[in-house]
Amino acid sequence: MSKELIEKAKEKFAAIINEQLKRVEALKKEAEDIDYSAVSPIIIGVCFGDGIGEVISKHAEGVLKHLLKDEVASGKVKFKEIAGLTIENRAKHKKAIPDDVLKELKACHVILKGPTTTPQAGGKWPNIESANVAMRRHLDLFANVRPVRIPKEDIDWCFFRENTEGAYILGSKGFDVSDDISIDFKVITEQGAERIIRMAFEYAKNNNIDRVTVVTKSNVVKTTDGRFSKVAFRIAKEYPKIKLDEWYIDIMTAKLLDPARRRDFKVIVLPNLYGDILTDEAAQLQGGVGTAGSANIGRRWSMFEAIHGSAPRMVEEGRDKFADPSSMIRASAMLLRHIGYPEKAERVNLALDRCSGNEKAKITGRETGITGEEYTKYILSQVD
């Protein structure tokens, strides 16, 4: 019996290895980044998602359309609304992203994406892959960039989370070897680690930041995390004016809570799972995960989103109109900066900073605060 189980496991593992070797070959032939100044029109896809995503992404779309009204009128920018990424439609097709939706996404240059529901094993929906993970893989959105700003504490962090490798990329490829053993996989490639780490160093260089922190658990997870660490120190030699330090994920979660140390961190680069955990902690310090947006950057496409989920309970309780759109509006600011409008992006970020803690813009997720629509109108009043 054990020989039979081993042979089946070897077949599954061989298939995963072959798939990843092909991916490495593709990584070696990467295209150049898009020059948006030479693109006309820039097509912005707005993908509403499900749950509160359908509400808050429309508020963020309104902010974008307001700021880009002249560019839309001149034909420089075009908006394209994309339906079909609801959990109901994904469950119907039994796909994380239905084929027709993926085709529409690929017809855009950048995408503003609302939160989507990821089914849990044993739940009411088919156990399909996360739409986020699938989109990052299909569009090769290798860099998840998440800024966190807490001006009153002089905190300005920028996290560079690797998006297409680590523990998540093979999350649906694990298997039960027997009734007693389940195995999952983690993968780090030289090419995948290099491009996210280099992006972090380039960001630091371009913003006159003299420190990059790499976060791993390379003292225990010696092969994959070890590779990520070695690539970071190899690339650091090309940037002699920037100091690289390495922190382990467990102590790093503590140091973000340490008032005496946390403001020292600036640019933080880390593998997928650690990045997911640490950026949620950082967002909570900023004011909650509902306040944080993120960018998913690739060579050909880029996608901008909230870092939180679809909150179906809010919809079930009829509270979706009170959902905080700050995260999606932060994401829209990142989109603006990415396509070449940094001044417009900064206006949005400053408006959000001014609204933070303002009683006129108090949003609680319930009737005790204002609605998302009212909050967005207040943001727009501060943008102009």
- Mean pLDDT, the chain, rounded, equals 91
pLDDT value at position 301?
A: 95
8 in a domain, yes or no?
no
Q: Is the pLDDT of residue 159 over 90?
A: yes
Look at residue 130 and tell me if it is in a domain: yes
pLDDT at 70: 97
Confidence (pLDDT) at 178: 87
Write the CA distances from 351 to 254, 265, 342, 375, integer angstroms.
31, 25, 14, 11
Question: Phi/psi zone of residue 75: left (φ > 0), alpha (ψ -120 to 50 degrees), beta?
Answer: left
Cβ pair 379, 56 in contact under 8 A = no
Q: Is residue 55 part of a domain?
A: yes
The CA–CA distances, whole Å, from 22 to 28, 107, 189 equal 10, 25, 12
Do residue 104 and residue 160 come from a single domain?
no
Q: Is residue 212 a part of any domain in this protein? A: yes
Q: In the listed set 249, 275, 294, which residue is the last one of a domain according to the structure?
A: 294
Q: What is the pLDDT of residue 36?
A: 92
Phi/psi of residue 141, nearest 5 degrees: -90, 80
The stretch 317-338 carries a mean pLDDT of 94
Residue matched to tokens 């995260």: 327
In this structure, are residues 68 and 43 in contact, taking their beta carbons and an 8 Å threshold? Answer: no
Q: Is residue 20 part of a domain?
A: no
CA dist 267 → 146, 158, 260, 333, 345 (Å): 10, 5, 17, 19, 20
Number of domains in the chain: 2
Q: What pLDDT digit, counting tens, does each position of 263-277 carry? A: 999 999 999 999 999
Residues 328 and 369 in one domain: yes
CB proximity list for 251: less than 8 A, separation 6 or greater: none
Instruction: Give me the mean pLDDT over the 215-219 stretch.
Output: 97
- Position 10 in a domain: no
Q: Could you read off the pLDDT of 344-355 as tens digits, one per residue?
A: 999 999 998 888
**End-to-end CA distance of the chain, in Å?**
71
pLDDT higher than 90, residue 377? yes
Q: What is the CATH number of the domain that holds 128?
A: 3.40.718.10
Q: Are residues 165 and 269 in the same domain?
A: yes
Verify that 221 and 263 share a domain, yes or no: yes
Same domain, 203 and 168: yes
Q: Is residue 120 over pLDDT 80?
A: no
| 192 and 312 fall within a common domain | no
Q: Of the spans 124-128, 138-142, 172-176, 225-229, which averages the highest pLDDT?
A: 225-229
209 alpha-carbon distance from chain centroid: 22
Q: Do 286 and 342 belong to one domain? A: no
Maximum alpha-carbon separation in the chain: 71
Given a contact cutoff of 8 angstroms between Cβ atoms, the answer to whether 293 and 308 are in contact is no
Peptide bond into 147 cis (omega under 30): no
Residue whose tokens read 């389940």: 182
| 288-320 tens-digit pLDDT | 777 778 899 999 999 999 988 899 899 999 999
Q: Place 177 in a pLDDT band, splitting at 50, 70 and 90.
A: confident
287 with 304, same domain: the answer is no
Residue that finishes a domain, picked among 294, 318, 346 = 294
Q: Rounded to the nearest 10 degrees, what angle do helices 372-383 and 342-355 cross at?
A: 120
Please state, in angstroms and rounded to a whole number, the distance separating the CA atoms of residues 160 and 228. Answer: 13
Whether residues 259 and 314 share a domain: the answer is no
Cα–Cα dist 191/164, whole Å:
11
Contact predicate 119/88, CB 8 Å:
no
* Mean per-residue pLDDT, 46-71: 95
Three-class DSSP category at 77:
strand
Confirm whether 126 is domain-assigned: yes
pLDDT at 208 over 80: yes
Both 164 and 281 in one domain: the answer is yes
Distance CA 266, CA 221 (A): 25
Angle 305-145-80 (CA atoms, 0-180°, nearest 5)? 35
| Interval 131-139 mean pLDDT | 89
pTM of the model: 0.83
Share of the chain above pLDDT 70, in %: 99
Q: Is residue 249 part of a domain?
A: yes
* Whether the Cβ atoms of residue 80 and residue 60 lie closer than 8 Å to each other: no
Q: Are residues 83 and 156 located together in one domain of the fold?
A: no
Among 273, 294, 315, the domain boundary falls at: 294
- Which residue range is the domain that position 257 belongs to? 149-294
Question: What is the structure's pLDDT at 82?
Answer: 95
Give the pLDDT band of residue 1 (cuts 50, 70, 90).
low
Only one residue has tokens 């920028």, namely: 158
289 and 164 in a common domain: yes
- Amino acid letter, residue 121: A
